[in-house]
Amino acid sequence: MQETTFALKEWQVAVNALEQGETILLLRKGGIREAKGRFSVQHETVLLYPTYEHQQPELLKPNYAAQVQPVESGWHPHEVRIGSWAKITDIIQITQADAIARLLPFHIWNLQCVTDRLKWKPNQPVQGLLLRTYKLPEPQVVPYVEAYGGCKSWIELQTAIALDDRHPAFNDAEYQQQVKAIYVGLRGAGR
C-alpha cells in the first residue's frame, strides 16, 4: 500500500468541501514563505492538511463563510485530523479576470476574493488545481509540530500515512464530468 508524508496545507473549510465532493478546484497563488514567492506544485499525491488560522469568512461564498470558526492569530490545534488525500490531476494557469469569473461556480471563494487574488502580484497567474480526493478509511490524528506552521503550502509530516483509494469523493465518471465542466466553464459558453 502506498503511503506519504507530503501534505498540502489548505483552509479547513476547503478541505471539508473537497472531502464532501462539493468541489474539486483549489485556487492558489502562493504564500509568504513559498519558494521565490510563487506557488508551485511540489507533489502530485498529497495528504490534505487543514489549517484554521487564516480562514477569512468574508472571502468565501455565504454557505462556506458560515462554516468558519474564527481563531486567534497564532492559534493551532495540538493535534490535526487528516481525513483525506488527493491526486492533483490538472493544473490550470489563470491570468484573465473573465476566466477567473467563469470559474466561480466551481469553488468555494467569492468573486471579490478571486478577483483580488488575480490582481495581487499581477505578473503571476492564479493556479487552479483539480484534485481527485479520497477519504481515508479512518482519519489519522497527528500531533502539531512547529515546523508545520507558517504561510507555506507544503509540509512534510513526521509520520507517513497510508493512502487508500477505496473512498473517492467522486467515482471515475463523476470526476471526469467535473473536470470537463470546469474546462467548458473556463472557455466560456459558446466558445
Q: Please give the single-letter amino acid code of residue 152.
A: K
Q: Name which of 8-17, 67-76, 85-94, 160-169 the model is least confident about.
A: 67-76
Burial of 38 (0-12, 13-18, 19+ CB in 10 A): middle
Q: Which domain holds residue 111?
A: 3-187
CATH label of the domain that carries residue 178: 2.30.130.30
Average pLDDT over residues 20-32: 87
Query: Structurally, how many domains does the chain consist of?
Result: 1
Q: Is the pLDDT at 144 greater than 70, yes or no?
A: yes
Q: With bands split at pLDDT 50, 70 and 90, how would you rate the model's confidence at 191?
A: very low
Q: What is the pLDDT of residue 33?
A: 59
Please name the residue ranges forming H helices in 32-190. Answer: 62-65, 97-102, 111-119, 172-187
